[in-house]
Amino acid sequence: MWVFDWLNAFPPLAVYLVIPVAPLVGALVAGFWGWKLREHAHWAPIIGVAIAFYLSLAVLWQTGHGVAFYGDVYTWAVLGHLPVSVGFDIDSLTALMLVVVTFVSLSVHLYTVGYMHGDPGYARFFSYIALFTFSMIMLVMSNNFLQLFFGWEAVGLVSYLLIGFWFQRESANVAAIKAFIVNRVGDFGFLIGIAAVYHYFGSLDYRTVFAAVPQVTGQMLEIIPGHPVSVLTWIALLLFVGAMGKSAQVPLHVWLPESMEGPTPISALIHAATMVTAGIFMVARMSPIFEQSATALSVVLIIGAVTAFFMGLVGLVQNDIKRIIAYSTISQLGYMTAALGASAFSAAIFHLMTHAFFKALLFLAAGSVIHAMSNEQDIRKMGGLRKVMPITYVTFLIGSLSLSGIPPFAGFFSKDLIIEAVGLSTLPGAGWAEWMLVAGAFVTALYTFRMFFLVFHGAPRMDAHTRAHLHESPWVITVPLIALAIPAVYAGWAYIGPVGLGHFLDSSLVVAPQWNTIGEIRAHWQGAGAFVLHSLETVPFWLALLGMAVAAWFYWLRPGLPATLTRFLSPVIWALQRKYGFDAFNQTVLVRGVLQLGALFWHVGDERLIDGIMVNGTAREIGKAALSWRRVQTGYIYHYAFAMIIGLILLMSYFVVWRG
């Protein structure tokens, strides 16, 4: 395309290098000179990310025309005899991720100008989100496991910094630490997985590793003696532990709801659209490994489906608008994970993409609501905002319809494709998984429209002061909403062919013939229109409509009903409100257990046993011994003379008797 032609004058590597470096420079400028730039601190990050977005579009356009790149930038280190480099793998999957990441990032940057206006940490915030964009770009562009892990942990760091952005708040600090440590539990598995890759493949480079998969297939190992497992299953499961942490899959999901302590723009950027999808991206990237292990795929499928259904249920009882969307994010990530398990990698990436648009949209619209509500986040205290905030209302409705999977909005296509693919899967547990995902369609529509009706319809329930200040948000906030609403509408039918069915992604993904679910759907494909018509005869569509209807009935038309119903369902609600007890278990058993163990090791192990008995005890004993020995040193010459004579006699008798 003519707008990208001038880039051909430069070596490709230089162009690719600018993509991560431009946001990094923006981050450094905002970080180092933010105190001077103050309210102008956003320019460098925005320009940096805009450059990255433009170049990402160029890369997408190029890969669409068959251009690919695989090469190194510099050698990070030589490990033993193995050089490990920082390098790029530019293919269709990377290009697609780049565009999604930089597009959402740019929208969020613009939105932040309005949302964070006047915050004392304005420059710091921009520095962080530009740094995040850099890290995420490094992650998706990587051509090796080391750089992947670098990006992986770097986005975790920025997430930690941003959740705790308002560092005066105790709750934000606790949430930040929780996010970091739970992610580290995942990274722990991930790191061991990388060590296993290094051990069995002798390389950390994607191409070398993927090319060697046939040689490793069939190799077994015994982690627990007597229980052989296939090497590839072991590696795939370890890598998936990493994905579970980052993509918030049960039981490592506990950090994501709490991450809502951070400012809303980052909830949209990091904890909905991009970072949390890193796990999905990683598994898709590793498809050559996962496809060789039915066990691993089965685990991925079940974990995904369980997360999708059960975390959606928790979303039903939340009252904080951001937490509802957070549980919805966990649930939608579950859908993507389930798709990975069903080998429908392209469907997972497709849902990742549509979700990035409609979920970022929902979060930013929620932020607009929170802004108008003077920082109130409880939906029970909202209501009737439809009239005051028309743009927010319409865009939020588009996001909600998309999330609920109503045709022709984007979310419908990606979600329905996932359910179809899982339905075709022959893996153990696929039947259960399909039912959970289908039932999840009802749950999703119910919690989404519960929130929607409570916020925008019905009688206003806020106090008079807040009500007097209600207003539609300024253009810096509404323009990104509109920008994101556009793909939330059309991205589904427009891209289901190239992305969802994988025509565009084929070169990046490996699918084994025995579970080629997407291939089957492709074989019967008759176009997006037929897909919609077909869905009208299937259960998920009607369940989604039912969910919307129930939400409308309960929370708009008959607001008294939920209270009556709560009484009948109290045990279920009790469990849901406690989020199945994950937090309680972690707090009382794990956190307290670790602290008590640490105190035990310190006070008993170090202080009493080692210092008390070994060190000071030895000192005491030596002291006592010295006291008794001191009696020998009487100071009288005849005592010493006597001792010398006795010694002499003993020595002489030794020589005479034994040697003589």
Partner 1 sequence: MTHSSLLSYAIWVPIIGGLLVLAVGDRRAEAARWLALVASLAAFAVTIPLFTGFDTHTAAMQYSERVAWIPSLNIFYHLGIDGISLWFILLTSFLTVLVVISSWKNVQERVAQFMAAFLIMEGLMIGVFCALDAILFYVFWEAMLIPMFLIIGVWGGPRRVYATIKFFLYTFLGSVLMLVALLYLYFHSGDSFSLLEFQKTPLGMSAQTLIFLAFFFAFAVKIPMWPVHTWLPDAHVEAPTGGSVILAAVMLKMGAYGFLRLSLPIVPDASHRLAWLMIVLSLIAIIYVALVAIVQEDMKKLIAYSSIAHMGFVTLGFFVFNSVAIEGGIIQMLSHGFVSAAMFLCVGVLYDRMHTRNIKDYGGVANVMPVFAALMMLFAMGNVGLPGTSGFVGEFMVVLGTYQVNPWLAILAATSLITGAGYTLWLFKRVIFGSVVQPEVARLKDLDGREVLVLGTLAAFTLLLGLWPAPFLDIVHSSVQHLVTQVSLSKIPA
Provide the binding-site residues for partner 1, judged by CB under 8 A.
31, 74-80, 146, 149-150, 153-154, 157, 160-161, 164, 167-168, 170, 173-174, 176-177, 180-181, 184-185, 187-188, 191-192, 194-196, 198-199, 221, 223, 594-595, 597-599, 601-602, 605-606, 610-611, 614-615
Compute the least distance from the CB of residue 124 to partner 1, in Å. 8
Q: Which is nearer to partner 1, 9 or 77 (CB)?
A: 77
> Cα(635)–Cα(260) distance, rounded to whole angstroms?
80
> Cα(368)–Cα(474) distance, rounded to whole angstroms?
9
Helix (H), strand (E), coil (C) string for 111-174? HHHHHCCCCCCHHHHHHHHHHHHHHHHHHHHECEHHHHHHHHHHHHHHHHHHHCCCCCCHHHHH
Q: Which is nearer to partner 1, 28 or 476 (CB)?
A: 28
Half-sphere exposure in the Cβ direction for 531 (13 Å, CA): 29
Q: Which is nearer to partner 1, 223 or 464 (CB)?
A: 223
Cβ partners under 8 Å of residue 111, min gap 6: 265, 268, 364, 367, 476, 477, 480, 481
Q: Which is nearer to partner 1, 611 or 621 (CB)?
A: 611
Compute the least distance from the CB of residue 212 to partner 1, in Å. 17
Query: 350: closest CA among 203, 473, 567, 531?
Result: 531
Cβ partners under 8 Å of residue 581, min gap 6: 575
Helix (H), strand (E), coil (C) string for 91-112? CHHHHHHHHHHHHHHHHHHHHH
Q: Which is nearer to partner 1, 5 or 170 (CB)?
A: 170
> Cα(66)–Cα(54) distance, rounded to whole angstroms?
19
Chain centroid offset of residue 96 CA: 18
Compute the least distance from the CB of residue 187 to partner 1, in Å. 6
Q: Which is nearer to partner 1, 138 or 410 (CB)?
A: 138
Compute the least distance from the CB of residue 8 to partner 1, in Å. 30
Are 138 and 275 in contact, with CB atoms under 8 Å apart? no
Are 326 and 311 in contact, with CB atoms under 8 Å apart? no
Q: Which is nearer to partner 1, 64 or 83 (CB)?
A: 83
Q: Which is nearer to partner 1, 259 or 328 (CB)?
A: 259
Compute the least distance from the CB of residue 619 to partner 1, in Å. 8
Q: Which is nearer to partner 1, 145 or 409 (CB)?
A: 145
Query: 200: closest CA among 186, 213, 187?
Result: 213
Compute the least distance from the CB of residue 626 to partner 1, in Å. 14
Compute the least distance from the CB of residue 442 to partner 1, in Å. 38
Q: Which is nearer to partner 1, 236 or 451 (CB)?
A: 236
Compute the least distance from the CB of residue 195 to partner 1, in Å. 4
Compute the least distance from the CB of residue 70 to partner 1, in Å. 21
Compute the least distance from the CB of residue 253 to partner 1, in Å. 17
Cβ partners under 8 Å of residue 452, min gap 6: 396, 397, 400, 551
Instruction: Look up tokens 């005051």; give the residue.
Output: 388
> Cα(55)–Cα(592) distance, rounded to whole angstroms?
49
Compute the least distance from the CB of residue 149 to partner 1, in Å. 6
Are 48 and 24 in contact, with CB atoms under 8 Å apart? yes
Q: Which is nearer to partner 1, 119 or 472 (CB)?
A: 119
> Cα(274)–Cα(100) distance, rounded to whole angstroms?
8
* Type of residue found at 307: T
Are 164 and 184 in contact, with CB atoms under 8 Å apart? no
> Cα(495)–Cα(528) distance, rounded to whole angstroms?
9
Strands of 179-328 (E only): list them: 220-224, 227-230
